[in-house]
Amino acid sequence: MTDSAPAESAPKRSVFYLSDRTGITSETLGATLLTQFDEDSFKQSTLPFVNTVEKARSAVEYINHTARQSGLKPIVFSTTIDEDIRKILRDAEALFMDLFDRFVPAMEDELAVKATNRVGRAHGIPDQQVYDTRIDAMNFALKFDDGMSYDGYEKAQVILIAPSRCGKTPACVYMAMQHGIFAANYPLTEEDLESTQLPKQLRPFKEKLYGLSIDPERLHNIRSERRRGSSYAALPQVTFELRAAESLYKRHKIPFTTTTNMSIEEIATMIMQEKGMRRRSF
Amino acid sequence: MTDSAPAESAPKRSVFYLSDRTGITSETLGATLLTQFDEDSFKQSTLPFVNTVEKARSAVEYINHTARQSGLKPIVFSTTIDEDIRKILRDAEALFMDLFDRFVPAMEDELAVKATNRVGRAHGIPDQQVYDTRIDAMNFALKFDDGMSYDGYEKAQVILIAPSRCGKTPACVYMAMQHGIFAANYPLTEEDLESTQLPKQLRPFKEKLYGLSIDPERLHNIRSERRRGSSYAALPQVTFELRAAESLYKRHKIPFTTTTNMSIEEIATMIMQEKGMRRRSF
């Protein structure tokens, strides 16, 4: 707090993601909003499962403690529903950003009904069917990891094809976990890439195929992490594989995307959009 | 629209999750808000990658089309940042719920700075390091699937232990993908469960251990899906394993949770909270 204090020791403003459940909604909400400000000037923490009046009181104590320590008013993103708990939270010495306060009144007006104040999804009836779908979809995705299986393509909603290490498995696992999608994958081998034909295991499922490609330099780096100096990782080899893969996609009119600068979420979203797949949110 | 129309044909109100990126934030935000109303009365769709004026115009056309068809004003949850695009979107015949409009002004006041109107995270500098961390963490988690490896426990931030099919792998994969956490797992075998000692592979890593348990009926059902009528799935067998596992956790003071009615997110959150692990959001 003195003029001589070096810039790097400037106190950061605390941001709390507070929830009666996991905190995922308030983290998502808050993190998106913080992108609009200088993200490095915040210290973020999540306080999940604040679902009793006692826990709310100790959360407030903790928030106030950091406020006094840093001399900066914390920001609290809250998705807590219970009104008794919120009343306590609102008294924190913080900028209190409440998801429900800010959106529910407009929705009530439009829908001409009152919100129910029900605690969020996972606290209602336990949905074992949802859990089972996600686990089944995830086990399905993992079955294809590293080309261990070509079985079950009939059951797949989408089959990702690409040379090794272009991001097939992460995209499949993500779609399984977040959207319950049954996504298979098929690694294009050198033999596949030397042919103008589709690999025969894939021919009956052409409508389900989606290709991935990536920048050769990037694939070279990824493969080098695994096997440095191998011919598998060599730049000419990956360049050949990627060119051949893209020709194959084009020749057989298989939609594809280049994943170089994309996050796992963006790759998955691209695939689901292209394939017109229903996104379920859990 | 006539009195004689059966209830099941009542038109549903459309809800659109609209974004210049993946739509994940607006889905999360909107889905949480809809839990406060009758969720069955909405038809939800996501319109991702609305990142040009042209795409915004066709989104609005589509939204207006559904409005006319159903006779019900749609609800649009938007996390789009570009002001030219938002101007177009605001003209849709819809209740327009904008994340930034509703939160940013209060934040600007408190922080005494203007928001930057930067497009969300993934559109900035491509963060290959983040991608690599997630992939490395995911590959690490998958290595332990089905007890294929006991290697690498030194590198693990947490080691989940439990009898087979209690949810270790999904929790590990989730923590890897969503938070970049290196989570290993160890399946407790019958031999392990007959001993009062910790399995010897685990002894050097006691501080990293976290146990899972589950309701015996539920585990019986899960295992029966895999191998119906097997002794592996039999109720007395799973009851024995779970009791023995819980005794082991208690004897060695290993924190544990019973996952029966929990979502994957809740299990992961519980573990990270208990172990005081930093949650990174991607």
Q: Is A184 helix (H, G, I), strand (E, B) or coil?
A: strand
Query: Band of the pLDDT at B126, cuts 50, 70, 90?
Result: very low
Task: Please check the confidence at residue A209 and state whether its pLDDT lies above 80.
Answer: yes
Q: What is the pLDDT of residues B33-75, one digit of tens each?
A: 998 898 888 999 999 999 999 999 999 999 999 999 989 999 9
First-residue to last-residue Cα distance in chain B: 45
Task: Please check the confidence at residue A120 and state whether its pLDDT lies above 80.
Answer: no
Q: What residues of chain A lie within 8 A of the CB of B222, using their CB?
A: 132
For A211-239, what is the mean pLDDT?
A: 95
Q: What residues of chain A lie within 8 A of the CB of B271, using their CB?
A: none
> Which residue has 């928030």 as its token pair?
A63
Asked whether the beta carbons of A257 and A212 are under 8 A apart, the reply is: yes
Q: What is the pLDDT of residues A135-153, one digit of tens each?
A: 999 999 988 875 666 778 9
* ipTM value for the complex: 0.85
- Structural domain boundaries of chain A? 7-123, 128-274
DSSP B244-256: HHHHHHHHTT--E
> Which residue has 């006041």 as its token pair?
B109
Contact across the interface for A36 and B116, Cβ inside 8 Å: yes
Task: Give A197→chain B minimum CA distance, Å.
Answer: 31
Among partner residues B24, B103, B265, which is closest to A33 by beta-carbon distance?
B103
Query: Band of the pLDDT at B125, cuts 50, 70, 90?
Result: very low
Q: Beta strands of A67-169 (E only): which ranges? A: 75-78, 95-98, 158-162
Task: Please check the confidence at residue B269 and state whether its pLDDT lies above 90.
Answer: yes
Among partner residues A32, A49, A262, which is closest to B25 by beta-carbon distance?
A32
Give the pLDDT of residue B33. 92
Task: Give A245→chain B minimum CA distance, Å.
Answer: 22
Using alpha carbons, list the distances in angstroms from residue A219 to A239, A264, A277, B75, B132: 9, 16, 28, 42, 12
Using alpha carbons, list the distances in angstroms from residue A160 to A120, A183, A239, A245, B277: 34, 7, 20, 12, 34
Structure tokens at A118: 């029900």
Q: What residues of chain A lie within 8 A of the CB of B35, using their CB?
A: 118, 120-121
Identical fold, A7-123 and A128-274: yes
For A8-28, what is the mean pLDDT?
A: 89
Structure tokens at A98: 């409440």
Q: Is A133 helix (H, G, I), strand (E, B) or coil?
A: helix
Q: What residues of chain B lie within 8 A of the CB of A81, using their CB?
A: 36
Give the pLDDT of residue B119. 60
Among partner residues A111, A120, A281, which is closest to B27 by beta-carbon distance?
A281
Sheet of B95-98: strands edge to edge?
Answer: B42-47, B13-18, B75-78, B95-98
Query: Distance between alpha carbon A75 and the CA centroid of its chain, in Å?
Result: 24
DSSP B122-154: GGSS--HHHHHHHHHHHHHHHHTGGG---TTTT
**CATH number assigned to the domain covering B128-274:** 3.40.50
Asked whether the beta carbons of B222 and B165 are under 8 A apart, the reply is: yes
Give the pLDDT of residue A39. 82
Q: Which of B51, B223, B264 to mutate to test the interface with A (most CBs of A within 10 A)?
A: B264
Among partner residues A131, A145, A263, which is closest to B142 by beta-carbon distance?
A145
Burial of A229 (0-12, 13-18, 19+ CB in 10 A): exposed
Give the pLDDT of residue B118. 65
One-letter amino acid at B47 equals: L
Determine the topology of domain A7-123 in CATH.
Answer: Rossmann fold (3.40.50)
Query: Band of the pLDDT at A124, cuts 50, 70, 90?
Result: very low
DSSP B14-35: EEEEE-SS-SHHHHHHHHHHHT
Q: What residues of chain A lie within 8 A of the CB of B185, using their CB?
A: none
Q: Which chain A residue's Cα is nearest to B128?
A: A261
pLDDT averaged over every residue in chain B? 89
